[in-house]
Amino acid sequence: MEAYIKAISYYLPERVVTNEELVQEFPEWSVEKVAQKIGVDSRHLAADNETAGDMAEKAARKLFEEYQVDPKSIDFLMLCTQSPDYFLPSTACILQDRLGIPTSAGAFDYNLGCSGCVYGMAMAKGLISAGIAKTILLLTAETYNKYLHPLDKSNRSIFGDGAAACLISTDGFAKIGEFSLGTDGSGANNLIVKSGSARCKNVTGKFEEDEEGHIWYDDYLYMNGGKIFNFTLEAVPIMMNEILEKNHLQREQIDYYVFHQANKFMLDTIRKVCVIPKDKFYINLSTTGNTVSSTVFIGLKDCIESGNIKSGDKVMITGFGVGLSWGGTILLF
């Protein structure tokens, strides 16, 4: 049985931090430098008492309202997050109750970042193909800003908080194609929060300087930008070719590309290396920043509403990053 996207919505927190506010804390930077290199003018931050679960609930309720979806029609719920409300239970179980989804529905969290929405779509397609579920609510939500050190100007300029909701069913407006997925756990330390979980439960207060001159704090999110950049340039071109091959398509048949919105410099480089026409390639981090697992859904929603994606289009989507992990597929609109 085929799987389709039936609805997409997203939620961004009320609090907005502009580049002007950031450079007041880091006067060695400029508003123009942040905008040009990273492509972000402002980003949304979750409130102190606002969790990934809260944001996922708001994204889901927006989807219900916008598409007149009855929560009782949902028979499976998945939440992609690396900032769950609790170690246990799964935040998805809590959301099942809060959203009024039947107790007969399956629900679970899965811990994945920038490729998370693609992996969720692959799992949803598998559940539908196996006859396990017919209407799946896939939620993505992240509050990375709660993991960032106050002096980490690089990551504070890149990341924004947000959540998205995608309904995947046996019918809809975009047919989900075949997937290319990959993992390289040898690069796990290149994007990590070391303390706070089972391997290192207590905060350590330790930090060191990496080869790029960035401070690696055990107790906060660390990203080795150079190594993540190099990994992306190696993995994405291979993944693109695999996606085309698995979906029996040629590059010239792709109408539009919506890739994970990591940062403008990385996306510009990927586009050039992969020889993708600029008018077919989505880049829009300006008012959201990098929202991790939600960037692709936010991009798809915006492109549908703006008319950049229309009926009959073949759209390639990809995610890549923390894990290290990557994935992509074709959507047939």
The residues annotated with a catalytic role in the active site are 114, 260, 290
Helix residue ranges per DSSP H, 39-162: 52-67, 91-99, 116-129, 153-158
Please enumerate in sequence order all residues whose Cβ is within 8 A of that of 287, keeping only pairs 6 or more positions apart, or say none.
Answer: 41, 42, 43
Distances in whole angstroms, Cα of residue 287 to Cα of each of 160, 257, 264, 271: 9, 20, 13, 21
140 touches 116 (CB < 8 A)? yes
Distances in whole angstroms, Cα of residue 328 to Cα of each of 53, 172, 187, 203, 241: 25, 19, 19, 36, 10
CA distance 36 to 156: 16
124 touches 139 (CB < 8 A)? no
Give the residue from 295, 288, 225 showing the smallest Cα distance to 260. Answer: 295
CA distance 129 to 243: 19
CA distance 197 to 189: 15
